[in-house]
Amino acid sequence: EVQLQASGGGLVQAGGSLRLSCVASGFTFDRYAIAWFRQAPGKEREGISCIENDDGRTMHADSVRDRFTISSDKSKNTVFLQMNNLEPEDTAVYYCAALREQCGWVYYGGKFYHTKSPEHWGQGTLVTVSS
């Protein structure tokens, strides 16, 4: 059974940090990319970070670049999202998702376009940033 277990959300003050974890099971971790998406109330879902486990390539949306870092521990089938200097605008439910082989994110005109959909989704973890 494929599972993606996201955790690490919580309440933090602006300027603070959190680290989200996504533990994967039920599929060959090295053959998938893992992405983090978030959805704030009343807003569309946004892809923010992705890592390709075959070569370690990472990408981050402009809204989080220089503040968030995605990394992978293949020995634990786990992807992390280190979030620093959090802002109230980062308040959202964060989801991890698995895409076969590559992220499929194409950067153009200041944003990423997603050329394919994830195969598997985890449950969300809520991040709330107070001002």
SS3 content of the chain, % helix, strand, coil (to 5): 5, 55, 40
Question: In this structure, what DSSP letter does residue 122 have?
Answer: P
Q: Average pLDDT in the 89-118 region?
A: 95
- Model confidence pLDDT, tens digit, residues 46-78: 999 999 999 999 999 999 999 999 999 999 999
First-to-last C-alpha distance (Å) of the chain: 40
Measured CA to CA, the distance from residue 127 to residue 93 in angstroms comes to 6
pLDDT at 66: 94
- Model confidence pLDDT, tens digit, residues 13-51: 999 999 999 999 999 999 999 999 999 999 999 999 999
The structure tokens listed for 2 are: 């494929």
